[in-house]
Amino acid sequence: MPETTRIARVLDIVWHIHAAPRYWTRKRLADKFEVSERSITSDLDIIKHRLKFDLQSDRGNGYYFPSVPQLPSVSYSIAEALALILAAGAARQFSGVPQRELSMAIARLSSVIPGELRAMVEQLVNDGLGESDPHREQILSRCSQAISAAHSIDLVYAAASANGAETERRIDPYAVFPYDRSWHVVGFCHLREDVRVFKVDRIRSALQSGTSFSRQPGFDLEAFLSTGWGLMRGLDLPVEEVVLRFRPPASRWIAEERWHDSQQVILLPDGRIEFRVTIQVSPEFQRWVFRYGRDVEIVAPDSLRVWMADEAQAILSAIRTVAA
């Protein structure tokens, strides 16, 4: 649907110009959206003359808005409205999303949302503001703007693997995403010369460098994370097949979820399940297996079984020491 694609591009252009004032020229926009400069000129005319946004440009520089553009009212289908309500509710669970702005956006939904769902919107508004975290909000905002403008950012980062030692590094940010109640940034780290994941709460400061970057060709976030379990990627560890057997009640919990793209779940006659996954056995995965205790049997690899036994023995020794 060409018209739908164009509407989406126009709105995306508005966002990019707002996020990176005076950066986006016609040529840069044309390269970004892979269309002709003539098409971009037509899109800019829509923004300026039909949407009535105060779009300005300085000679030799990119476009900017003197004030924050206000989008016109829209209407939603039941499915679209429900998706927005659920997303807004989920956003309340992750501090770092600007709560006051989120509450204002939720309140505005009541005027355009279908009547069947208006009570859900009003309940979200009445629930009040969620937890606020100014530092997290600031870092998320700067990283998101850098991603939109394709600008590198200079970080001061406290790495967990170095006991919190702070390092200065430049990264090319590719994406921001939530995981386990925290926010993370994935991008190319110039210090390590590789793509890495950075926990937002460990970023002490983030400043745009003013230097543009090009995303690595073919980079895919899902594929990047798929060799590991969760966020931890044991870069020096082999990818190997893990075979686990879970007994009830753990077997039911495991079978109900999609834990990894490579997983295979086989139902066994005695109510157990065999769980197979091909990954790097990182500390994060080891802890995930350990949480199931006596309800999991490690078939392979041997190294995971040895680690589990050593960990259990260490815990038992610590308990005996305290009891003595």
CATH code: domain of residue 46: 1.10.10.10
CA-nearest of 181, 183, 201 to 147 is 183
Residue 210 DSSP label: E
Q: What confidence tens digit (pLDDT) does each residue in 54-92 have?
A: 888 877 788 988 876 666 666 667 677 777 777 777 766
My answer on whether 202 and 272 are in the same domain is no
Q: What confidence tens digit (pLDDT) does each residue in 133-189 have?
A: 788 888 888 888 888 788 999 999 998 766 778 999 999 999 888 876 788 899 999
Whether the per-residue pLDDT at 123 is higher than 60: the answer is yes
Domain boundary among 226, 250, 265: 226
My answer on whether 293 and 260 are in the same domain is yes
Give the integer Cα–Cα distance in Å for 54 and 38.
20
- On whether the CB atoms of residues 172 and 206 are closer than 8 A, the answer is no
Amino acid at 245: R
Higher pLDDT, 213 or 2: 213
Q: What is the Cα 114 distance to its own chain's centre?
A: 29
Is residue 307 a part of any domain in this protein?
yes
> Out of 72-86, 189-203, 207-221, which region has the weakest mean confidence (pLDDT)?
72-86
Tokens of 166: 């702070």
86 — phi, psi (to 5°)? Answer: -65, -40
- On whether the CB atoms of residues 121 and 139 are closer than 8 A, the answer is no
Q: Confidence class of residue 239 from pLDDT cuts 50, 70 and 90?
A: confident
Q: Confidence class of residue 234 from pLDDT cuts 50, 70 and 90?
A: very low
Domain count, the chain: 4
Is residue 288 a part of any domain in this protein?
yes
- Residues making up the chain, counted from first to last: 324
Give the integer Cα–Cα distance in Å for 28 and 61.
11
CB-based burial, 207-225: b 16+ in 10 Å, e otherwise: eeeeeebeeeeeeeeeebb
Within 10 A of 124 (CB to CB), how many other CB atoms are there? 19
Is residue 55 a part of any domain in this protein?
yes
Structure confidence at residue 32 (pLDDT) = 84
- On whether the CB atoms of residues 51 and 35 are closer than 8 A, the answer is no
Average pLDDT over residues 34-54: 88
Tokens of 47: 């923004």
My answer on whether 211 and 261 are in the same domain is no
Structure confidence at residue 5 (pLDDT) = 64
Tokens of 110: 């009541």
Q: What confidence tens digit (pLDDT) does each residue in 245-261 have?
A: 999 999 999 998 888 88
Structure confidence at residue 12 (pLDDT) = 79
Burial of 86 (0-12, 13-18, 19+ CB in 10 A): exposed
Give the integer Cα–Cα distance in Å for 241 and 262.
10
Residue 71 DSSP label: P
Which is it for strands 151-158 and 166-179: parallel, antiparallel or unpaired?
A: antiparallel
Full residue range of the structural domain in which residue 101 is found:
78-126
What is the pTM assigned to this prediction? 0.57
Domain boundary among 226, 260, 290: 226
Tokens of 275: 């769980």
Cα dihedral across residues 91, 92, 95, 97: positive or negative? positive
Please, which contacts does 74-78 make with residues 24 or more away whose CB atoms are closer than 8 Å? 74/112, 75/112, 76/112, 76/113, 76/114, 77/114, 78/114, 78/116, 78/117
My answer on whether 219 and 252 are in the same domain is no
Q: Which residues contact 236 (CB under 8 A, 6 or more apart)?
A: none
Is residue 142 a part of any domain in this protein?
no
Is residue 145 a part of any domain in this protein?
no
Whether the per-residue pLDDT at 1 is higher than 50: the answer is no
Give the integer Cα–Cα distance in Å for 63 and 14.
10
Structure confidence at residue 241 (pLDDT) = 94
Burial of 236 (0-12, 13-18, 19+ CB in 10 A): exposed
Is residue 175 a part of any domain in this protein?
yes
Amino acid at 148: S
